[in-house]
Amino acid sequence: MISQNFTKSHLSYDEQIALLESRGLIVGDKMFARKKLEHISYYRLSAYYFPFQDEKDKFRHDTHFKEVLRLYYFDKALRKIIFDAIETIEVNIRANVVYHLSKATEAFGYMEKGNLNISYVDYINLMQTIQRETQRSQEAFVTHFKEKYHSGILPIWMVVEIISFATLSKFFKALKPEHETLTSKFDIPPKVLKNWLHFINHIRNICAHHGRLWNKQFAIKALIPKKITKFDGVRNDKIFMLIMILQHMFKGLDTADGFKDKIRALLAEYPEIKISDMGFPIDWESRL
């Protein structure tokens, strides 16, 4: 049912610019602003208006359209760095899970409930999810395997390559303690790593859908390891917490990937960005 209270109507690009100007935003080059609104959309940009307003729909004195764009482009660049870093971590985790689980349980041991620390209901749901994702895969190696062996049941090293990161996170959560070898690399309890993978997946999905990371308060909260002091006092629902987690995991996997330097370079390029909105503490550089 369409809400009877909704009264907003379509606005042309020129009308959108006029609305922004009526609210005190200095647009300047209207052709430039029009092109940006065509490419980005008024609604997507609206999330970046709020830092320049002390009250709703009223921009602070001397606020320019290009300042809003700068904030948008900062967030876009941050998202790319984060997404790329998550990919590196994700590939490493897939490789480690495959190696150690196949060594312990062979190619199809992942399907046996006895090899998993999971309830029967969760086991059935996990197996059904893996089967669905296997069936819809169009990867050449999957097609070749099915044709050669006349089976849709794939060995663990194929499964881990095609399941989603969300499913991988659930699968890792179901591992028995003796198969949780990654926790020793990161020097954290299995409970923390399982939570971190859930946290990472949540933010990965935001990145994949071009969502906002700057100043975002995430719905999923990360667990803070008690014995690692660099995490003390860090907000566990802001992007800096993820940056801390990724940097910590890079060290454990011995694959730094220049991540820390990319973050530093981005902040240097956008010195006007208020980093406290992202959960950065004053001593953030020493923590990294």
Pairing between strand 58-59 and 53-55?
A: antiparallel
Mean pLDDT calculated for residue range 113-117 = 91
Sign, CA dihedral 122-140-99-250, equals negative
Which pair of structure tokens corresponds to residue 242? 């993820």
Are 149 and 93 within 8 A, CB to CB?
Answer: no
Alpha-carbon span 258 to 282, nearest angstrom: 22
143-174 pLDDT tens trace: 999 899 988 899 999 999 999 999 998 998 88
> Average pLDDT, whole number, for the chain?
91
How far is residue 17's CA from residue 20's CA, in Å, rounded to a whole number? 5
What CA–CA distance (Å, rounded) separates 110 from 169? 14
Q: What is the pLDDT of residues 227-249, one digit of tens each?
A: 899 999 999 999 999 999 999 99
pLDDT above 60 (res 1): no
Look at residue 186 in the predicted model and tell me its pLDDT. Answer: 85
Q: How many CB atoms lie within 10 A of CB 265?
A: 12
pTM above 0.85, yes or no: yes
Q: What's the CA gap between 65 and 81, in Å, rounded?
A: 25
Q: For residues 250 and 90, give the distance between their C-alpha atoms in angstroms, rounded to a whole number.
A: 11
CB hemisphere CA count around 168 (13 angstroms): 28
Place of tokens 């312990």: 104
Please list, residue by residue across 198-209, b when 16 or more beta carbons sit within 10 angstroms of its beta carbon and e when fewer do. Answer: bbbbbbbebbee
Over residues 103-112, the pLDDT tens digits come to 888 999 999 9
By mean pLDDT, which of 53-67, 109-123, 169-183, 210-224 is the weakest?
169-183
124 contacts: CB under 8 Å, gap ≥ 6: none
- Grouping H, G, I as helix, E, B as strand and the rest as coil, residue 23 is coil
Which pLDDT belongs to residue 98? 87
Question: pLDDT for 203-218, tens place per residue?
Answer: 999 999 999 999 999 9
pLDDT tens for 4-40 read 676 778 899 999 999 999 999 999 899 999 999 999 9
